[in-house]
Amino acid sequence: MRILFSSLGLYGHTFPLLPLAVAARELGHDVHYFTGKLFADVLASQGIEHIPGGMSPRKAYESAIAGARPGTPSDVDAERVAFTFASVLPRSFATDLGPILAERKPDLVVHEFGNPGAGLAADVAGVPALCHSYGRMWQEPDFAEPARDYLTALGAELGVEVPRTDSMTLGHPYLDICPPSVQNPAFLASSAHRIPLRPVAFAAPGELPSWVVEHREPLVYLTLGTAFSEAALLRTAIDGLAAVGARVLVSGGLKVDPAALSELPDNVVVLPWVPQADLLPHADLVVHHGGAGTTLGTLGAGVPQLVLPQAADQFNNAEVVTEAGLGDHLLAADVTAEAITTKARRLLTDEAVRDAARAMAAEVAAMPSPHDVARTLPDYA
């Protein structure tokens, strides 16, 4: 069977799909992946053909600043985000992917939640499609309501009817990688066709420092992701974590110059990139931005987490982690080195949090694996 996967050209939107794409390839399906140029090497390393295309999210957001609804205040971020993800990007992906579907004639399209443009292209071409989640269902009205309107208008242009409820899924069966106990209850109650799928942390292949595997003192992993990481916040977090009596491994990310983090404490190591999927099981605490991939990966590893949310669904993820007893969070106004030290010390020693994290890991492990779900994909073609 020919399967075409598609995601936005962002790590947090692409990596969650790769375990299923790899499983489908390993089961003998002909798998292609349509996304930005950034992921050519990663896809090649997994034996998956990369088809480059679609506008970059950064370029789309810049376009949205100038193209949001007439009369919309320029400082309303939710409106611009909705216009970006429900109009500019979907139009680009639907336009670019249409000829690819006509040429490749896949039997099934798997598009991620943030990329309804690929789902619209599938609907136009008459190809069955599945919507793949990248985290917990995010239904904030400030985003969902304008996004619905933008997608409805675009669908009308393309001759596709967009459902009024959960418009970003386009009504396609939903591959849900969020554990049920922390999924949005309203979504669980309303979802007509939800397909549980175990979240599997994915990272490009790499080697961990030997001391990570052999560490005898607590290990704290710090990352602020690839989209919102910035040196000042990273430095504050480093200073706070350096005081907790642990080894601290920091992933600087693509946007932070290591030179901006000079004079590091002796117990802190900063690397530009780490194989996060391999690292998480060795950590005793993960301090991060609340991105869906890191949040779910940490849930699967059974590790407590301290979330420092910056934007989008990160605030929702932070609240869920705290409410479920899996860790804690600090909002931007409350972030100081001292506050991070206090929170981290508690999370490294709180047995109730550790027990909750282990129970969550068991829930994740019991979900259907990517290979389990890949075996059912022909049923949706």
Q: Identify the pLDDT of residue 347.
A: 97
Provide the CATH topology of domain 2-197: Rossmann fold (3.40.50)
Structural domain boundaries of the chain?
2-197, 210-365
Residues 6+ apart with CB under 8 A from 334: none
pLDDT higher for 3 or 80?
3
CB 203 within 8 A of CB 275: yes
Q: Which residues of 145-160 are buried (b: 16+ CB within 10 A; e: fewer)?
A: ebbbbbbbebbeebeb
Q: Identify the pLDDT of residue 256.
A: 67
The dihedral region occupied by 302, where left means phi > 0, alpha psi between -120 and 50, and beta the remainder, is left
pLDDT beyond 70 at 72: no
By percentage, how much of the chain surpasses pLDDT 90? 68
CB 283 within 8 A of CB 247: no
Place domain 210-365 in its CATH homologous superfamily.
Answer: Glycogen Phosphorylase B; (3.40.50.2000)
Query: For 101-111, how does the pLDDT look when each residue is reduced to its tens digit (9 = 90+)?
Result: 999 999 999 99
Query: For 293-333, how does the pLDDT look when each residue is reduced to its tens digit (9 = 90+)?
Result: 999 999 999 999 999 998 878 999 999 999 999 999 999 89
CB 234 within 8 A of CB 51: no
Packing angle between helix 89-104 and helix 116-125, nearest 10 degrees? 40
Query: For 255-264, how does the pLDDT look when each residue is reduced to its tens digit (9 = 90+)?
Result: 666 666 778 8
In this chain, the answer to whether the domains covering 2-197 and 210-365 adopt an identical fold is yes
> Per DSSP, what are the bridge partners of residue 111?
6, 131
- SS3 at position 113: coil
Q: Identify the pLDDT of residue 158.
A: 96
Q: Identify the pLDDT of residue 17.
A: 97
Taking all residues of the chain, what is their mean pLDDT, rounded to a whole number? 90
pLDDT beyond 80 at 145: yes
Query: Order of strands, edge to edge, in the sheet holding 174-176?
Result: 49-52, 30-35, 2-6, 108-112, 129-132, 174-176, 194-196
As a whole number of angstroms, the distance between CA 297 and CA 321 comes to 13
Q: Amino acid identity of 272?
A: P
Query: For 184-221, how does the pLDDT look when each residue is reduced to its tens digit (9 = 90+)?
Result: 998 888 777 999 999 998 877 778 888 898 888 899 99
CB 100 within 8 A of CB 125: no
SS3 string of 123-188?
Answer: HHHCCCEEEECCCCCCCCHHHHHHHHHHHHHHHHHHCCCCCCCCHHHCCCCEEECCCHHHCCHHHH
Q: Which residues of 91-117 are buried (b: 16+ CB within 10 A; e: fewer)?
A: bbbbbbbbebbeebebbbbbbbbbbbb
- Give the distance from CA 339 to its chain's centroid: 27
Confidence grade of residue 124 (pLDDT, cut at 50, 70, 90): very high
CB 289 within 8 A of CB 229: yes
Q: Give the pTM.
A: 0.90
Q: Identify the pLDDT of residue 74.
A: 46
Q: Identify the pLDDT of residue 339.
A: 97
Q: Identify the pLDDT of residue 75.
A: 44
| pLDDT mean over 248-255 | 80
